[in-house]
Amino acid sequence: MANGCNQNATGLCSTAEGNNTTASGSFSHAEGLSTTASGSASHAEGFQTFATTDTAHAEGNRSTASGSASHAEGFQTLANANTAHAEGNNTTASGVASHAEGFGTTASGAHSHAEGSNTRSLHLYSHAEGNLTTASGIASHAEGENTIASGLVSHAEGQGTIAQGESSHAEGDQTRAEGRASHAEGNLTVARGSFAHAEGQRTTAIGDLSHAEGNQTQAIGQNSHAEGALSIASGFTSHAEGVNTVASGLFSHTEGQSTNANSLEGVHVMGKFGAANELSYSWYLANGTDTSTPGLAAKILSNGNVKIDGTVSTPAADYAELFETSDGNPIDFGYFVTLEEDKIRIANDQDDYILGVTSAKPAILANSGELRWKNKYLTSDWGEVLYEDITLPPIFDDDGNEVVPQRNERRQILNPEWDHSKEYIPRIQRPEWVAVGMIGQLLVRDDSTCKAGGYCKPNRIGVATASDQGYRVLKRTNQNQVLIVAPQLYRNSFSNLVNQLEKLANFREEGYLTEEEFHIAKKNLLNL
């Protein structure tokens, strides 16, 4: 149909209405002002709209639907791909089945969706919303403001965030998730390693599967974890926490303030201002005053040695050693004992040497063999454990990537006679081994004759009896029990006196002493 309003319905069964409209496609419909429906079964309405392909629909002001079955509406919108939909102001839906809405948005990826202001969904199945966001990865999602989701199926949200890695997620303020399946959240955080996680403020998770949290922490090593403030976990599977701590050794752990693993493998350093400085796989307690004056308060070393810079405090009061009984039977607490070669038995009043008293609660227990068979490792003739240097092969992940390099390690030399299949029973759990208190305050059985401030010695059955010499009695603690102070050695003075008299007699008989000299020496010895 054509008339004075310049209505041009030139297509088969088409309709043109309004002013300066053209319906040139078969079954098309143009209405409004300066609209064109040139596609078959297309529809253009409004002002200067164009529906140029089959079944397209353009409406509004200067919108164009140029894709088959596309729909453009609003102001200066463009739907130029098949089944695309553009609406709003200056939006473009150029991907197949895409949807752009809002202001200045672009949906160029097939089946993508852009909404909001100046957003872009550039790849297949992507979604951008908010302001100035870009979803450029396949099936990616960007929302918020100035966010970019460029990785495959990535997600960026918040302000100025970037999700660059495949399946990555960046949220918060100016965070970056660069590694595959990584996650960055908070403020100015970076998750660079695959499966890494950075959270907090200015944290960096560089190693694969690493985790950085807190303030300005760095998880550099694979599987590492840094938390707190300014801490660095640079070793493989290391952990740094606290403030200014550095876990630089493989499998190392630092905590507290300004502690450092010093690149030693497997160490644990805690406290303040100090570093591991001796053996790997050891524990260190730092106690420095500042960064220029570091120090250590204690060490528990992997060779079994313990070192401290202070006092050991315990409620118990004696030093004891484990001895094996001569008959293989246990000896109850509180008996005086003596030696038979390197084993012990209950002492009696005829023994000239007393080793000590069987102790129930020693402060220090030596010769215990608590943790292993005494001959597990080869030793020198003086008991020093022998070591050897071995080379450990590198460790690879399932993809063949080297995660731990080849390295050397110093280890104890195992005794070929050691049988790892046998269960080791510590000496203290065996009846034939008894703790003997040798120095300090000891509880001993007595026959009720001992008095505080006096002395005691063993009687014929190994319990204390009053004496004018021997062990000092501190106090009575029970009807048949007293507390004594034990010196390192105890010698029966009567037996010693007899021995000295015998020596004087021998000297007289051998002519070394005159009769007069003999009697003078005897008198002095007997205090007569």
Provide the residue ranges of all domains of the chain, joining segments of one domain with +. 231-310, 313-365+426-491, 372-424, 493-525
For 42-61, the pLDDT digits (tens) are: 999 999 999 999 999 999 99
Return the CATH number of the domain spanning residue range 313-365+426-491: 2.40.300.10
Report the C-alpha gap between 469 and 488 in whole angstroms. Answer: 15
| CA 250 to the chain's CA centroid | 11
Give the pLDDT confidence score for residue 267 in this predicted structure: 98
- Rounded mean pLDDT, 121-147: 98
* DSSP category for residue 385: B
Q: What is the pLDDT of residue 405?
A: 86
- Provide the whole-model pTM: 0.83
Neighbouring CB atoms inside 10 A of 336's CB total: 31
| pLDDT on residue 527 | 64
The amino acid sitting at 520 is I
Q: What is the pLDDT of residue 492?
A: 56
SS3 category, 157: coil
Closest CA to 337 of 437, 416, 256: 437
Is the pLDDT assigned to residue 4 strictly greater than 60? yes
Please report where in the chains the tokens 């006196």 appear, as a residue: 497
What integer pLDDT is reported at residue 495 of this predicted model? 62
DSSP label at 17? Answer: -
Cα–Cα distance, 119 to 113 (Å, whole number): 9
CB 390 within 8 A of CB 411: yes
Whose CA is closest to 117, among 128, 106, 107, 103? 103
User: How far is the C-alpha of 3 from the C-alpha of 23, rounded, in Å?
Assistant: 13
Give the model's pLDDT for residue 109: 97
Measure the CA–CA gap between 29 and 82, rounded to whole angstroms. Answer: 19
| Residue 374 reports pLDDT greater than 50 | yes
Mean pLDDT score across all residues of the chain: 94
pLDDT of amino acid 489: 47
In contact, 344 and 323? CB cutoff 8 Å: yes
Q: Are 200 and 186 in contact (CB under 8 A)?
A: yes
Per-residue pLDDT tens over the stretch 447-480:
999 999 999 999 999 999 999 889 999 999 999 9
Is the per-residue pLDDT at 28 higher than 70? yes
Mean pLDDT of 56-83: 98
The pLDDT of 273-282, averaged and rounded, is 97
The per-residue DSSP string of 48-85 comes to S-EE-STT-EE-SBS-EE-STT-EE-SBS-EE-STT-E
At 519 the pLDDT is 82
Query: How much is the pLDDT for 496?
Result: 65
The token pair that represents 384 in the structure block: 């020093």
Q: Return the pLDDT at 245.
A: 99
Which of the four pLDDT bands, split at 50, 70 and 90, describes residue 1? very low
Give residue 511's pLDDT.
Answer: 85
- Burial string for 493-525 (b: 16+ CB within 10 Å, else e) reads eeeeeeeeeeebeeebeeeebeeeebeebbeee
Write 87-96 long-range contacts (CB < 8 A, 24+). Answer: 93/67, 95/121, 95/124, 96/67
